[in-house]
Chain A
Amino acid sequence: MAANEVLLNVVDLVKHFPIMKGVLIQKQVGAVHAVDGVSFDIVKGETLGLVGESGCGKSTTGRAILQLHRPTSGSVFYEGKDLVKLKGENLRKTRRRMQMIFQDPYASLNPRMTVGQIITEPMLIHDMTTQKDTQGHAERLLKLVGLNPAYTSRYPHEFSGGQRQRIGIARALALEPALIVCDEPISALDVSIQAQVVNLLEDLQAKLGLTYLFIAHDLSMVRHISDRVAVMYLGIIVELTTRDELYSHALHPYTQALLSAVPIPDPAIEANRKRIILTGDVPSPVNPPSGCRFRTRCPIAAEICKQKKPEFREVTPGHWVACHMV
Chain B
Amino acid sequence: MSELLSVQGLETQFRTREGIVHAVNGVSFGLKEGETLGIVGESGCGKSVTVMSMLRLIPSPPGKVSAGKALFQGKDLLKMSDDEIRHIRGSQISMVFQDPMTSFNPVLTIGRQVSEPLEVHMGMNRKQADDRVVEMLTKVGIPNPRDRLNDYPHQFSGGMRQRVMIAMALVCTPQILIADEPTTALDVTIQAQIVELAKRIRDDLGMAIIWITHDLGVIAGLADRLAVMYGGYIIETAPIRDVYAHPSHPYTLGLLGSLPRMDESGQRRLVSIDGLPPVLLEKPNFCPFAPRCKYVVEHCWKENPPLMQISPDHTAACWVNPETGRER
Report the bound CA distance from A135 to B167 in whole Å.
58
A261–B159 CB distance below 8 A? no
- Identify 9 residue pairs between A and B in the complex whose beta-carbon atoms are under 8 Å apart, listed by A's number: A53-B188, A202-B269, A220-B259, A220-B261, A262-B217, A265-B256, A277-B193, A277-B196, A281-B159
Contacts of A258 in B (CB 8 A): 188-189
Report the bound CA distance from A195 to B191 in whole Å.
23
Closest to B243 in A: A267
Q: Does B57 contact A (CB under 8 A)?
A: no
Q: Does A7 contact B (CB under 8 A)?
A: no
Closest to A163 in B: B276
Bitwise, B172-195 to A at CB < 8 A (1) or not (0) is 000000000000000111111101
Contacts of B241 in A (CB 8 A): 267-268
Bitwise, A86-129 to B at CB < 8 A (1) or not (0) is 00000000000000000000000000000000000000000000
Report the bound CA distance from A267 to B217 in whole Å.
9
A263–B217 CB distance below 8 A? yes
Bitwise, B148-172 to A at CB < 8 A (1) or not (0) is 0000000001011000000000000
What is B's interface to A at a CB cutoff of 8 Å? 42-43, 157, 159-160, 187-193, 195-196, 214-218, 220-221, 240-241, 244-245, 254-265, 267, 269-274, 276-277
Interface size class, chain A: 35 or more
B188–A275 CB distance below 8 A? no
Report the bound CA distance from A53 to B258 in whole Å.
23
A264–B189 CB distance below 8 A? no
Report the bound CA distance from A258 to B254 in whole Å.
27
Q: With contacts A191-B255, A192-B42 known, is A277 near B274, CB below 8 A? A: no
Q: Closest approach, in angstroms, between the C-beta of B226 and any C-beta of chain A?
A: 9
Report the bound CA distance from A278 to B276 in whole Å.
38
Contacts of A62 in B (CB 8 A): none
What is A's interface to B at a CB cutoff of 8 Å? 53-54, 160, 162, 190-196, 198-199, 202, 217, 219-221, 223-225, 244, 247-248, 257-271, 273, 275, 277-278, 281-282
Report the bound CA distance from A190 to B229 in whole Å.
14
B265–A244 CB distance below 8 A? yes
Partner of B188, one of A225, A248, A261: A261
A265–B191 CB distance below 8 A? no
Q: Closest approach, in angstroms, between the C-beta of A190 and any C-beta of chain B?
A: 4
7 A-B pairs besides A267-B241, A268-B241, A277-B193 with CB distance below 8 A are A191-B215, A220-B217, A264-B262, A264-B263, A268-B244, A269-B263, A271-B221
Q: Closest approach, in angstroms, between the C-beta of A34 and any C-beta of chain B?
A: 17
Contacts of B157 in A (CB 8 A): 281
